Amino acid sequence: MKAKKIAVLMTAAAVLAGTFVMGGCGTGGSSSSGDEVVIYSNADDEAVEAMKKTLDENGYEGQYLFQTFGTSELGGKVMAEGTNIEADMITLSTFYIDAAQEEQQMFQPLDFDYTLLNSADQKDYCAPITSQEGTIIVNTEVMKENNLDMPKSLKDLTKPEYKDLISVTDIKSSSTAWLLIQALVSAYGEDGAKDVLSGIYENAGAHIESSGSAPLKKVRAGEVAIGFGLRQQAVADKADGLPVDFVDPTEGNFSLTESVAVVDKGEDTNPLAQEMAECIITKGRSELQKYYPNAIYEGETTDAANSSAYPKTFPEPLTVELLEKHQELSESCK
């Protein structure tokens, strides 16, 4: 059964696109081996740059190597390679880290303390770096040119007036689409979600994308009027003066977290990995919150100007098995 479950997890990976105890951060150079810490990450560019800035400013410049992957690619590597993976430290969607830990016990307990706002999410082997929400994204100029009403909900995206003017991501390729499907299932149940999603796919037509950032890029370029994507990216575009705005859907702004974990390589574990993980969490969250404003840790707050209107959490734990179930639901709607 375990082998079968690992196969399921790898298959899903292949198709998916505070109160802190401070200490240790910023000491740098304590590794007896002197080896650079290899960090594998699926994070967006903004998050990677925030983590690099934090590490550099706290004494770790030149002591690490960052390599970025798509979510599906890195999830697949983690499940396939386990502790044989080259990386010393990983940042990845939390549900993948949970699955890898359950099946392979591949991550060390973190050796620093932290307290999450939601204590139910507290784990000893990983700590969240970001929380990312989904929302409806619009090009205000294209909306005006086509005399379109501003949508208020995901269900509104099934209206005939939006035919061929919507871009969404396929959940088989990207976790961004999972935020949309979570909202639909939570609001309308599985049968109702199928009805709404079928209508959205019908209106999207050729604009069902394999990349999570593609809908935003098409909205930016004016190729479509409406997309579904990550909220913080739309907020940034609007602040930069682009003709981009966002509408928090009444079904809810659902979120996914990405977390940091240290690979347990026994005696070969690079001790700097633990130090850097601690540094990112205890020193880097203020920088990360500039781009990903959701409060995660005790003592943090979400800037009111950046707060979503309808923050919600899916009623079931987010697992690779649930992802696969929602992928099947999505396929039935095409």
- CA torsion through residues 198, 200, 203, 208, sign: negative
What's the mean pLDDT in 225-251? 95
The answer, yes or no, to whether residue 96 has pLDDT greater than 90, is yes
Question: What would the CATH number be for the domain defined by 132-254?
Answer: 3.40.190.10
Q: Can you give the pLDDT at residue 25? A: 54
The answer, yes or no, to whether residue 33 has pLDDT greater than 70, is no
Residue span(s) of the chain under CATH 3.40.190.10 come to 2-131+257-315, 132-254
Match domain 2-131+257-315 to its CATH number in 3.40.190.10, 3.10.580.10, 3.90.1150.10, 3.40.50.720. 3.40.190.10
List, for residues 49-60, the tens digit of each pLDDT value.
999 999 999 999
Say what percent of the chain tops pLDDT 90: 78
In this prediction, residue 32 has a pLDDT band, given cuts at 50, 70 and 90, of very low
* Dist CA 115 CA 121 (whole Å): 10
The answer, yes or no, to whether residue 197 has pLDDT greater than 90, is yes
Residue 256 to residues 18, 249, 279, 318: CA-CA distances in angstroms?
19, 16, 22, 9
What's the mean pLDDT in 132-145? 97
The answer, yes or no, to whether residue 276 has pLDDT greater than 90, is yes
Residue 323 to residues 68, 149, 177: CA-CA distances in angstroms?
22, 33, 10
**Of the candidates 17, 54, 34, which has an alpha carbon nearest to the alpha carbon of residue 129?**
54
Q: Can you give the pLDDT at residue 12? A: 47
What's the mean pLDDT in 170-193? 94
Q: Can you give the pLDDT at residue 27? A: 44
* Dist CA 231 CA 218 (whole Å): 15
CB 312 within 8 A of CB 186: yes
The answer, yes or no, to whether residue 128 has pLDDT greater than 60, is yes
Instruction: Give 164's DSSP letter.
Output: T
Q: Which of 33-42, 46-55, 140-149, 315-324 has the lowest mean pLDDT?
A: 33-42
Q: Can you give the pLDDT at residue 229? A: 96
In this prediction, residue 243 has a pLDDT band, given cuts at 50, 70 and 90, of very high
Q: Can you give the pLDDT at residue 34? A: 52
Please, what is the average pLDDT of the chain? 90
pTM: 0.82
